[in-house]
Structure 1
Amino acid sequence: MANTLDPMDLKQILTLHLDSYSNRKIGSVLGISRNTVNTYMQLFAGSEYSFQELLSFDTSALSELFSSHTTMDTARHNELMLYFEGVNKARKHPGFTFLYHYQQYVDLAAEPYSYTQFLEHYRRKYPKEKGSMKLQHIAGEEMFIDFAGKKLQIIDRHTGEVVPVEVFVAILPCSQYTYVEACTSQKRADMISCCSNALRFYGGVPKAIVSDNLKSAVNRSSRYEPDINRSFKDFARHYNCVINPTRGYSPQDKALVENAVHLAYQRIYYPLREMTFFSLKDLNREITVLLERYNNLLFKRKESSRIELFQRTERQYLKDLPADTYELKDYKRAKVQKMGYVYFSPDKSYYSVPYRYIGKETTIHYTKSRVEVFYSHERIALHQRNLIKGSYITNTDHLSSTHRFYSEWNPEFFKKKALPHGEYVLACIEKVLASQDYPEISYKRSLGIIQLYRAYGSQRLNNACKRALDTDACSYLRIKNILKNNMDRVHLLDDPTQQIQPHIPFHSNIRGASAYE
């Protein structure tokens, strides 16, 4: 097959021909096949322009006139190009191979090309090379993050099992200052923890974190508006930055961190290849040593290291870290029960909310230390997390007036209620509270006794309680009967000897008890 020549080669052929060189000599001088030179000379002669006019044309004009020339068998070539249209449509189908389609082509074609030429013609017809733009990175603008494709490993000291671990890599693209950490997995908690550690390592926060489309960062990937994981979004809100996932299948969007991963293989993985570690802590301690050495290496062209560039050009542009470290948040949905609590399933416990939200659907935001309850994006309750299963955590401000009154019941509460009505009422209540092993019974009896003042007044209630104490009859029903029968108005005599005197007057004809001795 003759080659399609560059327009500059065509001008050289024309120049040598006008200098009286033969076609064979032209091919020899230019390193071009004699047949190719012959073909082009025929094309020059068959054109409507003279050789001098063709020589005066610029390269674009020559390219337009002769760029489509080829000495290949047109029918054979056209047959292959038509076949390629079906091949290209099937390109994205799972399991596609060029070899499969080449074998089909061989069966169909009368004079098939070789497999090498088959691939060459396909690449010429459907070139896939794309240009790559050099990105200019602004100091303090972004932090790229990624997980390395290859894993490190630790040994379980007790079982001897080899446990693979993930490696997290972060880089500030302006200075290329790099952070590396080993973690147990790529799950949301580990990824966010690594991001938090990276920000503390840099001592500041960039405007954006550029992540991959891994599941722990993005719920649903999109080229234009990805759905960012709720916990990762909350992490960004805490550190006052934004999350900017890359486009799917576009590693060039974060080429620097991809390159940092490869450099981590060289500078960190390779020195660790013959070391054995029994914990993540030990592994990360050694990674820190190697990472410091890596960041202190001088760039050949910049004559400075990553740490020097970071301190000189980027550190000042990072935003300050918040005062407290981010705690990972999780989320649960729960309906407020009739008793005014939401059920928190992770701990199997209950947390109170304001009683007016009974029956409403709420969202629980929780961390390791606290539990927050939201309704319509408004926080309605905040509690310290209690890990005791089955516990009821109550804020008395959440209860209704009736429930709050009931929740305050205790011995001191009833003593305080009884005191304004008199000392005998207080003494009677103390005796009732002490008489029952089960406090709820004594609480209800005490409340009943105190409430009698509403019908009879505090003075009569105090007198009735005095009479009940004297006769050892401290109970709700007895005190109520004393008041009902006005017995609180009949005074008991203080002298015991007077109590046995008869009410019949003395007479000499009446015998007394002494007559029967």
Structure 2
Amino acid sequence: MDKIEAIRNLAAQGWSQRRIARELGAHRSAVRRALEGRQTTSGDSKRATVMTGNPAPTQSMCDPFRESIEAKLDLGLDAKRIHRDLQSEHAFVGSYNSVQRFVKSLKEAAPKRIWRMEVEPGEEAQIDYGTMTIIEGEDGRLKRAQLLRVTLSHSRKSYSEAMPSQDCESFIRGLENAFRHFGGVPLRLCPDNLKAAVVKADWHDPEVNPKLLSFARHYGVSIMPTRPYTPQHKGKVENGIGYLKRELKGRRFGSAAELNEHLRSWECNVADKRIHGTTRRQVIEHFLAEEKPALKPLPEGLFPCYRESRRKVGRDGYFIVEKAYYDVPEQYIGRHMWVRWDARTVRILDSKLESVRVHARLAQGQFTQVLGADGRRGSFEESCGYYRSRCSRMGPSVAAWADGVLANRGEMAVRIMQGLLSLNGKYSKSQIDAACAKATLHGHYRLGELKNWLVAPARQESFSFLESHEIIRSPAGYDSHIGGASLFDPGN
């Protein structure tokens, strides 16, 4: 009894249970029982020996390192990490299970406080899913339904909807239906880290699904995902999911439409009219009086309906959407892009959600642009015209040589002109133009022959004889040298 009195006196002075147990050499659970005024049972005999004067209980191997373990718990370390640290820092020889039991006893003796989170009217809505197998198919087998529940945090007014999956489009339509049901929009949405909402979970800077961000901009609401594996951050809707499941337990529905009709009736006639255990007010009365006036008004139109996917651009520069092919600029080959499509358009956006290209929807198997001859987009005639125009910008003789290639080489002309253009970096335009003039003069329309004129510019050229020139004397001028007889007289 002296020990019990000492414990109570120290507690009255503000000492913690942990400190009292450490100073008196008692187990923390025994200290707690002494403060609560409970009697020890036979199962507590070992822990209560310090209170009765019997032999002391077996001491844990972790007791000598209590302060170090408590400090590591304050840092948020788990039992596995603490066990490793004890081995490396203190040559600890005990097992991991002994550390785990010791850590558990410390947490039970001094549980961490969880703060309640309450908000002002219209400030927040919490979102969560529940899953139940309650829909009977035509074959008699039960099917799973995803139960979305959206709860306004202040009044606990809720909206419930069953859907076949948790994909982003279904999630957004469910949120939109909830806003219409409430008659307004809250300032903030707090979803769980489901894939339809969060691409990469992170408490400080989560990567939210781009489509959900577009939805949030449309309705003027912010998205604040909860901390992963922390259900108390959305305790209001967590409790609401349990409340919903208790209502549906043991029931069967022939379709999702039948289930949703039951949910609408239940929300209106049961959930809305209950006196909530925390607010101590009727849910619908609380909502109408305080929360609904604080909600932001709904926008004029609904959020545009489209599908979305994050995909990698193929080496050919195309995306495949519904078995049709849509091209992007070459600099995006190999990169991940966002693709959004509806019944009319396909929009391609980069990682910053900036538009890269917009296409009209195509039928299956069609391409936005077709590769023509030798990689040129379009028909053969369009390819020829394209390369002919590029050649003409290098000089008039180059254009003339390209015309000769087109006239003499047929479909090979496109490749030959491509080869001609590739010479632009090795030789100057004037050199290429001069070589083309010589090649055209000799009727050389092969790329190898053109290259010969480039590498041997001093090569001797053959020309046709000229009939007249200022330095060439007329045949009549030679008559005086041969006695007046013409060299061209048939008689001489």
* Whole-angstrom CA distance in 1 between matches of 2:274 and 2:235: 20
Judge conservation of contact 2:347–2:357 (CA < 8 Å) in 1.
yes
Q: Give how far 1:364 is off.
A: 3.4
Aligned to 2:142: 162
Aligned to 2:184: 204
Residue by residue over 1:132-183, the C-alpha shift from the partner in whole angstroms, topping out at 9 and shown as x without a partner, is: 22323111111100012x51421111x2221111211110011110111111
Q: Alignment partner for residue 146 of structure 1, among 106, 128, 132?
A: 128
Say if 2:274 is the partner of 1:297. yes
Q: Give how far 1:239 is off.
A: 1.8
Q: Alignment partner for residue 154 of structure 2, among 148, 171, 174?
A: 174
* Whole-angstrom CA distance in 1 between matches of 2:109 and 2:281: 40
* Whole-angstrom CA distance in 2 between matches of 1:201 and 1:65: 55
Q: Alignment partner for residue 218 of structure 1, among 192, 198, 207?
A: 198
* Whole-angstrom CA distance in 2 between matches of 1:137 and 1:330: 34
Aligned to 1:371: 346
Task: For 1:372, give the aligned amino acid.
Answer: R
Distance 1:250 1:360, change over 3 A: closer
Aligned to 1:69: 24
Judge conservation of contact 1:171–1:179 (CA < 8 Å) in 2.
yes
Q: Alignment partner for residue 310 of structure 1, among 287, 290, 302?
A: 287
Q: Alignment partner for residue 258 of structure 2, among 275, 279, 282?
A: 282
Please give the secondary structure, in 2, of the residue aligned with 1:153: strand
Residue by residue over 1:331-388, the C-alpha shift from the partner in whole angstroms, topping out at 9 and shown as x without a partner, is: 45586999xxx745122335688xxx576657532234432244685436545535x3
Distance 1:297 1:346, change over 3 A: same
Distance 1:222 1:365, change over 3 A: same
Distance 1:311 1:349, change over 3 A: same
* Whole-angstrom CA distance in 1 between matches of 2:265 and 2:16: 62
Q: Alignment partner for residue 349 of structure 1, among 314, 324, 329?
A: 324
Judge conservation of contact 2:122–2:292 (CA < 8 Å) in 1.
yes
TM, length-normalised to structure 1 = 0.52
Q: Give how far 1:91 is off.
A: 6.1
Q: Alignment partner for residue 230 of structure 1, among 196, 210, 222?
A: 210
Judge conservation of contact 1:7–1:62 (CA < 8 Å) in 2.
no
Which structure 2 residues correspond to residues 420-439 of structure 1 after superposition, within 5 A?
none
Distance 1:237 1:369, change over 3 A: farther
Residue by residue over 1:197-226, the C-alpha shift from the partner in whole angstroms, topping out at 9 and shown as x without a partner, is: 212211221111101112222122122111
Q: Alignment partner for residue 265 of structure 1, among 213, 229, 245?
A: 245
Task: For 1:227, give the aligned amino acid.
Answer: E
Please give the secondary structure, in 2, of the residue aligned with 1:248: coil
Judge conservation of contact 1:334–1:364 (CA < 8 Å) in 2.
no
Please give the secondary structure, in 2, of the residue aligned with 1:307: helix
Task: For 1:255, give the aligned amino acid.
Answer: G
Larger radius of gyration: 1
* Whole-angstrom CA distance in 2 between matches of 1:121 and 1:332: 44
* Whole-angstrom CA distance in 1 between matches of 2:118 and 2:25: 43
Task: For 1:224, give the aligned amino acid.
Answer: H
Q: CA RMSD in A?
A: 4.6
Number of aligned residues: 323
Task: For 2:162, give the aligned amino acid.
Answer: A
* Whole-angstrom CA distance in 2 between matches of 1:173 and 1:286: 23
Please give the secondary structure, in 2, of the residue aligned with 1:319: coil
Judge conservation of contact 1:152–1:167 (CA < 8 Å) in 2.
no
Q: Give how far 1:74 is off.
A: 6.2
Task: For 2:260, give the aligned amino acid.
Answer: N
Which structure 2 residues correspond to residues 486-505 of structure 1 after superposition, within 5 A?
none
Task: For 2:289, give the aligned amino acid.
Answer: R
Aligned to 1:81: 63
* Whole-angstrom CA distance in 2 between matches of 1:234 and 1:164: 29
* Whole-angstrom CA distance in 2 between matches of 1:62 and 1:371: 65
Judge conservation of contact 1:205–1:321 (CA < 8 Å) in 2.
yes
Distance 1:128 1:371, change over 3 A: farther
* Whole-angstrom CA distance in 1 between matches of 2:281 and 2:109: 40
Please give the secondary structure, in 1, of the residue aligned with 2:238: helix
Residue by residue over 1:295-335, the C-alpha shift from the partner in whole angstroms, topping out at 9 and shown as x without a partner, is: 12244786742222222211122222233322244145586
Aligned to 2:105: 123
* Whole-angstrom CA distance in 1 between matches of 2:204 and 2:171: 23
Aligned to 1:59: 13
TM, length-normalised to structure 2 = 0.54
Say if 2:119 is the partner of 1:137. yes
Q: Give how far 1:248 is off.
A: 1.6
Distance 1:3 1:70, change over 3 A: farther
Aligned to 2:175: 195
Distance 1:130 1:309, change over 3 A: same
Q: Give how far 1:264 is off.
A: 1.5
Please give the secondary structure, in 1, of the residue aligned with 2:127: strand
* Whole-angstrom CA distance in 2 between matches of 1:334 and 1:66: 61
Judge conservation of contact 1:4–1:70 (CA < 8 Å) in 2.
no
Judge conservation of contact 2:339–2:347 (CA < 8 Å) in 1.
yes
* Whole-angstrom CA distance in 1 between matches of 2:61 and 2:367: 80
Distance 1:365 1:171, change over 3 A: same
* Whole-angstrom CA distance in 2 between matches of 1:254 and 1:65: 36
* Whole-angstrom CA distance in 1 between matches of 2:253 and 2:56: 66
* Whole-angstrom CA distance in 1 between matches of 2:2 and 2:78: 29
Distance 1:172 1:337, change over 3 A: same
* Whole-angstrom CA distance in 2 between matches of 1:162 and 1:332: 33
Judge conservation of contact 1:152–1:165 (CA < 8 Å) in 2.
yes
* Whole-angstrom CA distance in 2 between matches of 1:188 and 1:92: 38
Q: Give how far 1:129 is off.
A: 1.5
Residue by residue over 1:69-89, the C-alpha shift from the partner in whole angstroms, topping out at 9 and shown as x without a partner, is: 247456942646359899x99
Q: Give how far 1:66 is off.
A: 9.5
* Whole-angstrom CA distance in 2 between matches of 1:196 and 1:144: 14
Q: Give how far 1:188 is off.
A: 2.5
Residue by residue over 1:369-416, the C-alpha shift from the partner in whole angstroms, topping out at 9 and shown as x without a partner, is: 432244685436545535x3134679xxxxxxx989x99xxxxxxxxx
Identity of aligned residues (%): 23
Say if 2:322 is the partner of 1:330. no
